[in-house]
A = this chain, B = another copy of it.
């Protein structure tokens, strides 16, 4: 939609004025007017006030309300040649806060989800080390130095379909190859120290135990700096689709390096040039050359509400919210525009701001049915500012699939419906 610019909203003043102070907003609650018929949902007993419900043995492991059945991971038919080696997406527009529930973390597999018996799982550490080692899961859980860290994991291809223009109508699909969970495990450094790395050890190969035997080369500096070997997410065992019983955590770097079902760590003196770092996960430029080993995920953000799957439903006070993140550290600022990037205002960042973690932002605003072109723009502690998609395309062309961190635009129409558009 290249003519979106024509529809620029003219009433940005109300947005900016409302933002000046929440006290200025009208209430969302409704007062009972004199003579008005009382709401029977208040005055009449409902079934749930009258009858006993299920007790404490009904669900030893609980699940969501049946009224939340639509809050699920989804895949996109035309992107899914087969479901075994494919992708589904986190429903970002249906979530809040910064932690993704385990059951809703997006999936990307290369050979489906293996069902590994944890008692039979082994992690081998070998190559350029003094003492090759084998760990059972119990060995790892007895290892000193256990830590818990909250990190985002983003697929390098998140937003990849948008390089050539607005295509997928919903932040679940444009930005949903990301999740943010607490990991429990031990620093990779302590395992490598235990094995005793040789001085010519410069690269680490990590290998998964699924039928794709997924492998990636990781520079040893990163391995020693902040990588983790983890067995739990959000307090409980890893989910099967997230690498049960063991996965590698590579904070801030592209998701496919976070090897799931981790079974082998080999130390070498150069990268291995495996399939998944050459034919894939290499960024083709306009002139036919490639950017390779593009590990870090640059600063990015998206407005999750309103968005195509979560339109505005009522005039008056509304809450705009979204997520920002950076693989280079902490988010320091998020700006929001409703006029396609002409004017920006600072969003309110909520909750703890942790490095390489999703960060939640809000803007309370008053909407009177005006057209809006909503954008968000993240800044991180290195001073990096999230670029527009066009700025990215000028440098990288449109051949690539990976590392699209351009600014997203949602067009909110007078009826509240919202669409993925681009301002060209």
Of all A-B residue pairs in the complex, the 7 with the closest CB atoms, nearest first, are A55-B83, A53-B112, A48-B114, A60-B72, A29-B133, A144-B364, A22-B144
Q: Is the interface of A mostly helix, strand, loop or mixed?
A: loop
Chain B residue numbers with a CB within 8 Å of A31 are 131-134
Which residues of B are found within 8 Å of A381, using beta-carbon distances?
none
Q: With A53-B84, A142-B318, A146-B319 in contact, do A29 and B234 touch (Cβ < 8 Å)?
A: no
**Cross-chain contact B113 with A53 (CB below 8 angstroms):** yes
Counting CB contacts under 8 A, is A236 at the interface? Answer: yes
Q: Which residue of B lies closest to A180 (CB)?
A: B235
User: Which B residues touch A121, using CB under 8 A?
Assistant: 41
CB proximity of A81 to chain B, nearest CB, Å: 11
Known: A61-B103, A96-B184, A318-B142. A115 touches B66 (CB 8 A): yes
Instruction: List residues of chain B with CB within 8 A of the CB of A395.
Output: none
Interface residues of A, count at CB 8 A = 126
Is A287 interfacial (CB-CB < 8 Å)?
no
Mark out the residues of chain A between 278 and 330 whose CB falls within 8 Å of any chain B CB in the assembled complex: 313-314, 316-319, 321
Interface residues of A in 336-373 (CB under 8 A from B): 350-352, 354, 360, 362, 364
Residues on the B chain within 8 Å of A118, using CB: 65, 67
Binds B, one of A155-163, A205-213, A216-224, A246-254: A205-213
Mask, A15-35, CB within 8 Å of B = 1, is 000000010010111111000
